[in-house]
Amino acid sequence: MPLDQRGPVMAAATASQPLLLPNDDATNGWSAILPPRTPRPALQGDVQADWLVLGAGFAGLAAARRLAELRPHAHIVVVDAGTVGDNASGRNSGFAIDVPHNIGSSLEELRQAAHYQALLTAGMNDLELLVAQHRIDCQWRRAGKYHCAVSPAAERTLQHHVDELRALGAPHELLDRNALAARLGTRHFAAGLYTPGTVLLNPAALCRGLADALPANVSLHEQTPVQRLDLSGGKVVAHTPQGRVRAPQLLLAANGFAQQLGLFGSAWGAETFPLVTFGSLTAPLTPEQRSRLGAPEGWGVTPASAVTGATLRYTDDHRILVRQGFEYAPHFRVSPAVRERVRREHAAVFAARFPQLADVALEHFWEGSIAITRNGAPRWGRLAPQVHGVAGCNGAGVVKFTALGALAADLALGQDHPLLAHALALGGPTRMPPQPFMGLGVRAYIAREKWLGRAEV
């Protein structure tokens, strides 16, 4: 397949309905514990650019950087509907994962392990270099991760990971309950698979640092939602509340929110669906509370069942993160009642895993959105004659979307790259049925995942 023919070429259109924007509710705990930051000014007036990048998360920032490196005299404009660090990329669990990782019961990444491994290695190397070069203070530490199971059934699924890690030659270690308790300070897990290469970090701080270190020929505008997108006359025109951007080419990196722009008709909506996830973060543990926990240093746990289990972090500043709960959110919103229910569930999860910390409060609570594809493959590459991009993070996008965002820039510029073959080999998302059948199917999927992982709560 020629490089400029990646993915179906879809008819361009413009959005005619009001757009649902990211729900930046100023509750992101990762941002709240950082020093205050003044966002870059919103775009105003008519701006002419050589490239427009829509979205300043990990994919968009990587794409903009790569475009600027390959075309140092080009003017690249990046717009984001929210603020850097408070967008979806700044609200995740803070895992930069270096090995293939499954979401829910899907084993797609494990089946494509060799291709994902090449992309993840490149993305991790790029991020590690940027963090060191620009001295980005984001608690970046290669602490590894523990992929943990509570029940015997889930414990058996760890063997899928072991088999692929052996085939890749990746270091790993299987641990029983006693070994995990000594490292994590909880006896809740029956078994865990430790891989040493994962980096733990504050995702909001990393996003801020990457944005601040963009090349000089990149202009970033925050709090600049694109309200309408025109692709007529051989040019991209993005209309924003206070201006517009004209550019010959668009690189789309807005993940699940991109489907609202009307660019892909029903095809885009049939390939991804939005889920809302939730996070909580404690106040810093006191020295006495840390002694009760007993963990010698920070760690990260991903659950064998991503939908029902809990992702956990013990951060380097002695906070504990709980990430648990998925809700189908076709309008990118959940009700206050849902938020309150999940908040209570997080408190119960924390109490079950750390009964010795009954006096520790969950100080911050927030939500964030992810885009899921039916078969686990991302939507990546050429999306329309003037548009390239990446979407469908499937919930593990820090390293993966850094690599795919940069490669989308290479592909858009016709620049050959040895990793393009790996990205192309991932294929694309399988289509989903139209509404209301898609909503019924997604809810059935979540119900099935909750049933399969019911012992992992």
CB 194 within 8 A of CB 165: no
- Start-to-end CA distance of the chain, whole Å, equals 45
Instruction: Please name which of 145, 144, 148 lies closest in space to residue 177, comparing C-alpha atoms.
Output: 148
Say if residue 206 is exposed, middle or buried (CB neighbours under 10 Å; 0-12, 13-18, 19+). Answer: buried
Confidence band (pLDDT; 50, 70, 90) for 288? very high
How many angstroms separate the CA atoms of 187 and 178, rounded? 7
| pLDDT at 186 exceeding the cut of 50 | yes
pLDDT of residue 262: 60
Stretch 1-21: mean pLDDT, rounded?
Answer: 42
Three-state secondary structure readout of the chain: CCHHHCCCCCCCCCCCCCCCCCCCCCCCHHHHCCCCCCCCCCCCEEEECCEEEECCCHHHHHHHHHHHHHCCCCCEEEECCCCCCCCHHHHCCCEECCCCCCCCCCCHHHHCHHHHHHHHHHHHHHHHHHHHHCCCCCCCECCCEEEEECCHHHHHHHHHHHHHHHHHCCCCEEEEHHHHHHHHCCCCCCEEEEECCCEECCHHHHHHHHHHCCCCCEEEECCCCCCEEECHHHCEEEEECCEEEEECEEEECCHHHHHHHCCCHHHHHCCEEEEEEEEEEECCCCHHHHHHHCCCCCEEEEECCCCCCCEEEECCCCCEEEEEEEEECCCCCCCHHHHHHHHHHHHHHHHHHCHHHCCCCEEEEEEEEEEEECCCCCEEEEEECCEEEEECCCCCCHHHHHHHHHHHHHHHCCCCCCCHHHHHHCCCCCCCCCCCHHHHHHHHHHHHHHHHCHHHC
pLDDT of residue 103: 53
| pLDDT at 4 exceeding the cut of 50 | no
Stretch 207-213: mean pLDDT, rounded?
Answer: 98
Confidence band (pLDDT; 50, 70, 90) for 83? very high
Confidence band (pLDDT; 50, 70, 90) for 454? confident
Which has more pLDDT, 452 or 315? 315
Q: What is the pLDDT of residues 106-144, one digit of tens each?
A: 455 556 788 999 999 999 999 999 999 999 999 999 999
- Whole-structure pTM value: 0.92
Q: What is the pLDDT of residues 299-345, one digit of tens each?
A: 999 998 877 899 999 999 999 999 998 888 888 788 999 999 999 99
What is the gyration radius of the CA atoms in the chain, in angstroms? Answer: 21
CB 452 within 8 A of CB 105: yes
Stretch 385-407: mean pLDDT, rounded?
Answer: 92
Stretch 291-297: mean pLDDT, rounded?
Answer: 91
pLDDT of residue 136: 98
Q: Which of 37-41, 250-254, 378-382, 453-457 has the lowest mean pLDDT?
A: 453-457
| pLDDT at 230 exceeding the cut of 80 | yes
CB 345 within 8 A of CB 333: no
CB 154 within 8 A of CB 121: no
pLDDT of residue 1: 30
How many angstroms separate the CA atoms of 404 and 202, rounded? 21
pLDDT of residue 324: 93
Show Cβ contacts of residue 427 under 8 Å, excluding neighbours closer than 6 positions: 375, 377
Q: Which of 28-42, 124-138, 165-179 has the lowest mean pLDDT?
A: 165-179
Strand pairing category for 362-373 and 320-328: unpaired
Q: What is the pLDDT of residues 360-373, one digit of tens each?
A: 999 999 999 888 88
pLDDT of residue 5: 34
* Residue for token pair 């499954």: 102
Q: What are phi and psi of 47, to 5 degrees?
A: -125, 130
Mean model confidence pLDDT for the chain: 88
| pLDDT at 407 exceeding the cut of 90 | yes
Structural domains present in the chain: 3-456 (3.50.50.60)
Stretch 190-207: mean pLDDT, rounded?
Answer: 97
